[in-house]
Amino acid sequence: MNESKLHNVLSGFQKPELQDLAYLLGCDLPARVRKSELVNQLYTYLKERPQRWLSHLMERDARLLRKLVRSGPEKVHYMDYAPYPSLLEATGFLGVDDSDEHYHKLWISRELYDIVSPQIDSVIRSGERSGRYRLEQVCLGYMNLYGILTTERFAGLVADYFESIGEEADSARAGSMLWQSQLVKLCRYSDSHGDYMCSPCVGDLEQLHGLRHEAGRFAYPQFSIEQALEAGSGAPYFALALKTPEGMALEQMYRSLGYEGFELVTALHDTWVEAQYTQAYNEALFAPLSESPGAMSLDPAQWQNCCRIVADYADVVPKWALCGQTARETGVFLLDSSSWEFPEEPGNGPAGLEAPQVQEDYPRWKMPPLTVSEGYGSFFLPGFSIPHVAPDDPCPCGSGLRYCRCHGKLLS
């Protein structure tokens, strides 16, 4: 067999990892064979049965793959750093280069493009029509609402969903779904705390378990399927409670401060994630506010009002540390408004924010040498550089974000 990039990627895994990957992609591999045979069999499966393994991908992975396919093979995409990587990135199926801190570059190889391009559109249509993606959103939503919940409780919620759509709420069906789902395989944990499901946005499981014991609130509130759908949509940039008065006020405020499009999506997501942290004053919670295009024009009263909007939202968001209850309901982990800082003078922006440095020129940077795959294809010429990009100008990468919120956000 002639080796290929994809074959080489598979060869880099250990035998247990190959078996896990095969399981995630719906391929039954024999356990008692040599690793080289496992690699060959999985490689053959990927080449010959793309419709089957693509149908096992989560919705986020499938749509990312379609985006890269539509651009063409070896075409570099400049992506925002997502809250968690896709399976295709983590396995190395996609070309990934993070060698420079200012870029997250993705592309699809010619080999993988030829395998998946004829099938990817029909796979996504099938996922939409069959309700598979909707079920995935419901499952993600419950995990995002509760943060952590036992697998038994999660299975009960899945059974309730089947009942709501007119199918028999049978534990065997729910168990089969749990056993086969890629989502469950990636989000299920079993350790000293038990067997449980965890939101992919939870960064520190031990910290969260500790916060739960500190709070001592172990009652799980009931959420509707509609609430779960809202909480599980838009992967990986989730944002919860946006239909509450506080959530709508937050979105309206961010829009008034200049956020729109993808910048608005990420600002809302970042606020939701930081609202899970329980310090009386979590500086990162207010980062989207202080980094907004209109932040420097706020007077002290306006800044105080904006902080109150953010805090009100944080107090009504279902908190992981409270098993999905809110700070306002329980009186636990409420934000302390006395620690907010205000602008010293009107028009100078919130205290602690640095005014933009006035300078005649802006840093020049060049694309670093590629460390993964064979090159950039025809997307950029060698030595490509971007001179004199002002912070509020559109980023030259084509993302639609302002330069200061995209590839220029880490430049001094």
pLDDT at 390: 63
At residue 21, the pLDDT reads 92
Token pair, residue 193, equals 């705390």
The per-residue pLDDT for 383 is 29
* pLDDT on residue 4: 87
Using the structure block, give the residue that is written with the tokens 């940039």: 237
**What element of type H or E holds 198?**
strand 194-198
Q: What is the pLDDT of residues 195-231, one digit of tens each?
A: 999 999 998 899 999 999 999 999 999 999 999 999 9
Residues 109-153 have pLDDT tens digits of: 999 999 999 999 999 999 999 888 999 999 999 999 999 999 999
Read off the pTM. Answer: 0.80
Name the residue ranges covered by the structural domains of the chain: 5-125, 131-232, 245-339
Find residue 95's DSSP bridge partners. 107
d(CA 304, CA 371): 47
How, if at all, do strands 188-191 and 105-107 pair?
A: unpaired
Q: Give residue-wise pLDDT tens across range 267-312.
A: 999 999 999 987 666 788 999 999 999 999 999 999 999 999 999 9
Rounded Cα–Cα distance for residues 8 and 24 (Å): 19
3-state secondary structure of 224: coil
pLDDT at residue 340, as a whole number: 64
Pairing label, strands 385-386, 365-366:
antiparallel
> What does the alpha-carbon distance between residue 15 and residue 33 come to, in Å, rounded to a whole number?
10
Phi, psi for 387 (deg, rounded to 5): -90, 150
The closest alpha carbon to 60, from 131, 118, 133, 129, belongs to: 133
| Per-residue exposure over 211-235, b if at least 16 CB sit within 10 Å of its own CB, e if not | bbeebebeeeeebebebbebbbbeb
What are the Cα distances from residue 345, in Å, to 253, 287, 300, 349? 21, 20, 7, 8
**Span 5-125 CATH architecture:** Orthogonal Bundle (1.10)
Residue with tokens 């937050």: 250
pLDDT for 391-404, tens place per residue?
Answer: 666 766 666 666 66
- pLDDT surpasses 50 at 366: no
Contact 327, 285 (CB under 8 A): no
Which regions of 207-275 does DSSP assign to beta strands (E)? none
Given a cut of 70, whether residue 50 has pLDDT beyond it is yes
Give kind and range of the element (H or E) at residue 112: helix 110-116
Name the residue among 192, 180, 91, 202 with its Cα closest to residue 136. 180
- Name the band, by pLDDT with cuts 50, 70 and 90, for residue 163: confident
Q: Identify the CA nearest to 316 among candidates 244, 214, 230.
A: 244
Higher pLDDT, 72 or 342: 72
